[in-house]
Structure 1
Amino acid sequence: MIPVAVGTDVVEVDRIRRALDRTPTLEARVFTSDEIAYCRAAREPWQRFAARWAAKEAVIKCLGGGLPGLDPHGIEVAHLADGAPTVRLSGDVRRRAEERGIERWLVSLSHERTVATATAIALAAM
């Protein structure tokens, strides 16, 4: 597999918290029910929400487009059996990745009290 795109995003945790507080419907519009359950299970869920937001943005950057027109539910941040983060794509997002020959993703998430970051690497067959 060869890397064909890299996307990185950094967000302020408080900006995501304020956006979700200000617009109660935003949480369900952006995050899947599994993502919401995972984030809400934490004592401080905002870092987890922010890291997932950043991951979705990083994947979108790899796909060469902005969020308009793409369903954020089409990018779900999940975990492998060993706890490593991964993304599951569906719908238009998956089709866009397939059109670009992307077959696999590597994702890294990190967060501190005030910031969260994510990097996505899109891989294609040689």
Structure 2
Amino acid sequence: MEITGLGSAIVECPRIGKMIQQYGEIFLIRVYREKELVFCQRRTRALEFFSSFWAAKEAVLNCLGFSGPGVSRTQVEIIMDRQGRPLVQLHGSAKLAAKKLGIADFMISLASCRTHATATVISLPGKAVSSRNRD
């Protein structure tokens, strides 16, 4: 299996909790897409899921070569499939960047506890962006 990129990120859950408390809806809609908000808010450990999704977005952006400000986190969407596995769906400039880099898919792993959340993402090559990465 050929790998085109690797990204990882770790975040402190209380830091994300503080951002949500301090900025509320403004923070949430700048970082998360509608489906992500609904999914996380319905969980008993919502903060861990928000933090895991944040870490996943950062790890995907690392795979795409983006770092720092300038790319909207909402361009990377984390979706859970029916078996509870995380999937990546790209939008906007993140989707275009993946296409230019020949990235067709991602493998993603999430882990969290009360204090930290982490994500590891591997990007995989392909000729066209896969169905999971279509708007």
**TMscore range, shorter length:** over 0.9
TM-score by length of 2: 0.88
Query: Cα distance 1:67–1:75, how it changes in 2: closer, same or farther (>3 A)?
Result: farther
Match of 1:65 in 2: 66
Q: CA deviation at 1:113?
A: 1.0
Q: What CA RMSD, in Å, does the superposition of the two structures yield over aligned residues?
A: 1.4
**Matched-pair identity in %:** 33
The one-character-per-residue Cα deviations of 1:49-75 (angstroms, maximum 9, x if unpaired) are 000000000001111112522221111
Match of 1:29 in 2: 30
Distance 2:122 2:74 in 1: 19
The one-character-per-residue Cα deviations of 1:21-47 (angstroms, maximum 9, x if unpaired) are 111201111001110111111123110
Q: Quick one: higher RCO (CA 8 Å, sep 6+), 1 or 2?
A: 1
Number of aligned pairs? 126
Deviates more, 1:73-82 or 1:90-99: 73-82
Distance 1:101 1:68 in 2: 23
More strand by share: 1
Distance 1:59 1:34 in 2: 18
Moved over 3 A (4+): none
Runs of at least 5 residues in structure 2 that lack an aligned partner in the other structure = 128-135
Distance 2:40 2:81 in 1: 16
Runs of at least 5 residues in structure 1 that lack an aligned partner in the other structure = none
Q: CA deviation at 1:105?
A: 0.5
1:1-126 matched pairs, under 5 angstroms = 1-24=1-24, 25-125=26-126
TM-score by length of 1: 0.94
Contact 1:60 1:67 in 2 (8 A): no
